[in-house]
């Protein structure tokens, strides 16, 4: 998935795409009315492309369960084979660093594996609420630990005041955007 497509996907949801399709359909009818067949045909092709694009956009994920593990190199990773299989990045993109690693240490009781249930809305079993503070990143830290080169990320503050950074893979996990709030509990 290209950076451009991810950016477009982030800003357009399927409802907006339907409105765009309707506008282009009206344009197609108008072009046919004024007998400009070439423009009408181009408009129709663009309409179909927009509709197909709209159908390909993922719905925002609201709840999920993910496993995180500490590899033999001592670094935490999210277990997300579908991200790698889709060719969206490398294992270095899946690193949990800059506070996310120490948060996972806490969740796992200093173990090397933890499964976490995650939701966008509060729920009865939640143990932590993470609130987005701001976008940003520490390039020097990411380079030092070997994280994949990324242009941005987001800092979150947990309900126990722990601050952690989440990389753009978060957008993939949540279906296209960084949530304002993330609610979690340890499953095992």
The domains of the chain are located at 3-56, 63-186
- Per-residue model confidence (pLDDT) at position 116: 94
Query: Cα(155)–Cα(100) distance, rounded to whole angstroms?
Result: 10
- pLDDT over 70 (residue 165): yes
The pLDDT value recorded for residue 87 is 87
Tokens describing residue 148 = 């994949």
Q: Which band of pLDDT confidence, cut at 50, 70 and 90, is reported for residue 37?
A: low
**pTM greater than the 0.75 cutoff:** no
CA distances (Å), origin 57, targets 10, 15, 83, 172, 175: 9, 11, 16, 12, 9
In a 13 Å sphere around the CA of 91, the CA atoms on its Cβ side amount to: 9
Q: What is the pLDDT of residues 96-105, one digit of tens each?
A: 999 999 999 9
**Are 17 and 50 within 8 A, CB to CB?**
yes
């Amino acid at each position: 998935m290209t950076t451009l497509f991810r950016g477009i996907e982030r800003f357009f949801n399927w409802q907006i795409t339907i409105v765009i399709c309707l506008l282009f359909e009206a344009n197609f009818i108008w072009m046919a009315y004024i007998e400009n067949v070439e423009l009408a045909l181009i408009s129709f092709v663009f309409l179909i492309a927009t509709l197909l694009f709209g159908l390909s956009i993922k719905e925002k994920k609201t709840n999920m369960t993910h496993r995180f593990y500490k590899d033999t190199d001592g670094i935490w990773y999210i277990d997300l084979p579908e991200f790698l299989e889709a060719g969206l990045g490398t294992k270095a993109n899946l690193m949990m660093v800059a506070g996310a690693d120490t948060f996972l240490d806490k969740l796992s009781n200093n173990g090397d594996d933890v499964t976490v249930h995650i939701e966008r809305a509060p729920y009865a079993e939640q143990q932590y609420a993470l609130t987005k503070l701001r976008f940003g990143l520490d390039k020097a830290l990411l380079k030092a630990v070997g994280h994949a080169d990324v242009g941005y990320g987001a800092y979150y503050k947990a309900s126990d005041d722990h601050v952690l950074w989440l990389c753009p893979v978060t957008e993939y996990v949540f279906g296209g955007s960084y949530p304002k709030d993330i609610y979690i509990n340890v499953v095992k």
